[in-house]
């Protein structure tokens, strides 16, 4: 029962912080005025994708945190979450497209490292990061394109 409650805490915390940041740092006039690439997805898509990704990331973090003995990749999970949550304030809040791109690069590197670290210990945790890493890669290409176009 304690493991289940810990899972609930992880999911609520990750979803809650993600939602708080997402509603605090919105696109706004500045973003609307930027030139965007042809593959820029519609805004509503982010509201669908991120809750799914955050659920998977929370499950991966919970699995590592709840593992018996060592917690391989725990520091990587926490670090990539901190950077993930920092991206919106850097991009939408500070309007720093270039630095937001570097936040994404670091998040992607840490996320890939988390997957590699957990590949043999907890393959489910590693697999939970596959869609997340794919989306981070897409977000990096999108961020880079917006930086180049503006």
**Structural contact between residues 136 and 50, judged by C-beta atoms closer than 8 angstroms:** no
- CATH number where 79 lies: 1.20.1260.100
Give the CA distances from residue 19 to residues 7, 47, 67, 91, in Å, rounded to whole numbers and listed in that order.
Answer: 18, 9, 27, 16
Number of domains, the chain:
1
Domain that holds residue 53: 2-149
Centroid of chain to Cα 62: 15
- Return per-residue pLDDT of the chain as tens, 150 residues: 788 999 999 999 999 999 999 999 988 899 999 999 999 999 899 999 999 999 999 999 999 998 876 777 899 999 999 999 999 999 999 999 999 999 999 999 999 999 999 998 899 999 999 999 999 999 999 999 999 999
Count of helix runs (H) and strand runs (E) in the chain: 7, 0
């Amino acid at each position: 029962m304690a493991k289940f409650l810990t899972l609930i805490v992880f999911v609520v915390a990750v979803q809650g912080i993600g939602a708080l940041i997402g509603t605090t740092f919105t696109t706004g006039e500045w973003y609307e005025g930027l030139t965007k690439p042809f593959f820029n997805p519609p805004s509503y898509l982010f509201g669908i994708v991120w809750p799914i990704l955050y659920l998977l990331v929370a499950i991966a973090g919970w699995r590592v945190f709840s593992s018996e003995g060592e917690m391989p990749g725990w520091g990587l999970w926490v670090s990539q979450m901190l950077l993930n949550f920092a991206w919106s304030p850097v991009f939408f809040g500070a309007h720093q497209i270039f630095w937001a791109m570097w936040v994404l690069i670091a998040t992607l590197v840490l996320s890939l490292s988390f997957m590699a670290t957990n590949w043999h210990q907890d393959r489910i945790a590693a697999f939970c990061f596959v869609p997340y890493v794919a989306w981070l890669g897409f977000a990096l290409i999108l961020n880079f394109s917006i930086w180049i176009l503006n």
